[in-house]
């Protein structure tokens, strides 16, 4: 029950800096475009796995 409440607060009440200080549910309900303010480290790891030099990704 505590985990469910924390998830609800995270998604419905807590503004997120990476999405222009809106809540995830606001963006989901309004389908607004979002300026990307976060990094995706997973892509970098995948590129390195296939042999792409790290310098080309910076």
Give backbone dihedrals phi and psi of 13, rounded to 5 degrees, phi first. Answer: -115, -30
CA distance linking residue 9 with residue 53, whole number of Å: 41
Please check the confidence at residue 55 and state whether its pLDDT lies above 80. no
Report d(CA 38, CA 19) in Å as an integer.
9
Residue 48 pLDDT class (50, 70, 90 cuts): low
Would the pLDDT of 28 be above 80? yes
How many CB atoms are located within 10 Å of the residue 8 CB?
12
Tell me the mean pLDDT in the region 3-14.
94
Q: How confident is the model at residue 47 (pLDDT cuts 50, 70, 90)?
A: low
pLDDT of residue 23: 92
The answer to which of 14-18, 29-33, 40-44 has the lowest mean pLDDT is 40-44
């Amino acid at each position: 029950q505590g985990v469910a409440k924390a998830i609800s607060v995270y998604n419905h009440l807590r503004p997120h800096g990476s999405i222009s200080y809106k809540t995830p549910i606001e963006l989901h309900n309004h389908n607004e475009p979002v300026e990307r303010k976060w990094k995706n480290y997973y892509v970098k790891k995948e590129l390195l796995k296939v042999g792409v030099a790290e310098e080309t990704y910076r």
